[in-house]
Every structure is written in C-alpha cells, then in structure tokens.
Copies of this chain bind each other. A is one copy, B any other.
Amino acid sequence: MAKLTSLKAEKRQLDRRAADHIRSHILDGIFPANSRLLETQLSDELEVSRGTVRSALAQLAGEGLVKQVAFTRWEVSGSSSTDGWEIYTLRGVLEGLGARLAAANVTAEDAERLRTICAEMLRAISEGRFQDATDIDFDLHAAIIELARHRRLAEQHRMILHQVRFHMVQSGFLPKDYDELISDHKQLIEAVIAGDADRAEKLARSHNEGEVRLLTASLQQGHPSDRIDVENV
C-alpha cells in the first residue's frame, strides 16, 4: 500500500480531510477495486485515530466508493460491468435534469463560461494533454449542473462523477473519438445556452448512451468482471 501524507495542517475537520485523502487514493487507482482497507493501517498512515478513519470510511461508503461488511471488513467498491451500467444510467438522468434546469437559468456570463471551458478542453486535446482533457470534461459537466441551482442534484452528481472516474480508472476506459466527444459537448452547451431545455436534456442523456450500450452488451454476454478479487498487500 502506498504511503499517505499526514494531515495536521488546515482547519477543516479531520474526518473530512481523511475522507478526501482516501477518496483521492481510490480515484487514482492506488487502492484498487475490491481491495481491503484496514482501519489501523489507515489511521497509522494518516496519523489520526481509528475513530476518525472510521468516520471517513463511513462517508465514503455513503458516496458508494467503499463497502462495509459488518464486523468484518471495509473494502473498495467493485467495478464490474453491472456497476458501470448503474453508474452511467444514473448519470444520464441526473445530467439530463441538470441540463434541463440549466437551460432555464442560463445567463450571458454563464454562456461565456461554458464556452471557455469547452475551448480549454479542445486545446488540451489538441496538445495531447489527455488527462487534463478528461479533468476539464468533468469540470464542464459539473459547471452545467451548477447552473441548475439544485443543491441535492449537485451533491448526487458530485458523487456519481466520482464513481464514473473510479470506473474509468479501474476499467482502463479511454475515449475513442475525441472529435465526437468535442462535438457532443459543443451541441450540449449550445442547447443549454439557447435555453432549449428539451434538447439539452436529450443531449445530456444520450451523451452516456455509448457506454451504457457497451456495458449492457458486456452484461448480456455474462462478462465475468465481477470475479476480480485484488488483495491489498
């Protein structure tokens, strides 16, 4: 297991910061899917008490990144085709709602902002900085959700994006056609900017449909990606 940096600077609550650290390790693939997490080990490495680690793990369990087996173990969530299918179908309707509401609220500055982010993404791709491009992709979707001015939706969306990222890392997913990716996003934000709620929702939902179809197919073949059982030594 990789070394975690201690957390005693800052002023936020320790358990939140512990959760942030563990979460980023999960999202970076340092703690792989299905790997076991030991409270004592985490508390040693983060230099906080076990209770604090427990609280952090409970948060992450609520976010769907970690599973608890009572009296027995904590482990990083799985990343099977079923999980992927669940994640992308949920993402579809959440972003659909977000796009619909965003279209109803959008202002001129918002429009500018969205176009800027999209341009940044385009530049990142054209310069071959694909990791940056992916980050900006997430930022763009989060920015649209923000326009919806819907706290609960934003919270759900934040969590589902974490899960999307996790699933991408675990499954080694990479976009295959960056031109199409850009075109998708351009269409989406233009629909939002134009205030066309129906079209914005439809585009947001169809944005994930490629993955959903892929994963559905993978499920029907009985793809055995549930069997992964990495141990975390």
Contacts and interface: CB of A to CB of B under 8 A. Distances in A.
A89 interface: yes
Contacts of A59: 58, 62
Contacts of A87: 152
A96 interface: yes
Interface in A125-177: 150-153, 155-156
Interface size classification for chain A: 20 to 34
A226 to B, nearest CB: 13
A93 interface: yes
Contacts of A29: none
Nearest to A95: B93
Contacts of A58: 55, 58-59
Number of copies of this protein chain within its complex: 2
A146 to B, nearest CB: 14
Nearest to A101: B89
A93 to B, nearest CB: 4
A70 interface: yes
A55 B61 CA distance: 13
Nearest to A151: B86
Contacts of A62: 59, 62
Interface string A90-118: 10111011000100000000000000000
A54 B13 CA distance: 14
B152 A90 contact: yes
A74 to B, nearest CB: 13
A150 B13 contact: no
Given A64-B152, A70-B13, A156-B156, A97 B89 contact: yes
Contact of A153 (B70, B90, B101, B152): B90
B86 A153 contact: yes
A205 to B, nearest CB: 10
A62 B63 CA distance: 9
Ranked nearest first, the 10 interchain pairs of A and B with the lowest CB-CB distance are: A62-B62, A93-B93, A86-B152, A93-B97, A86-B150, A90-B152, A13-B70, A90-B153, A58-B58, A86-B151
Interface of A: 12-13, 51, 54-55, 58-59, 62, 64, 70, 86-87, 89-90, 92-94, 96-97, 101, 150-153, 155-156
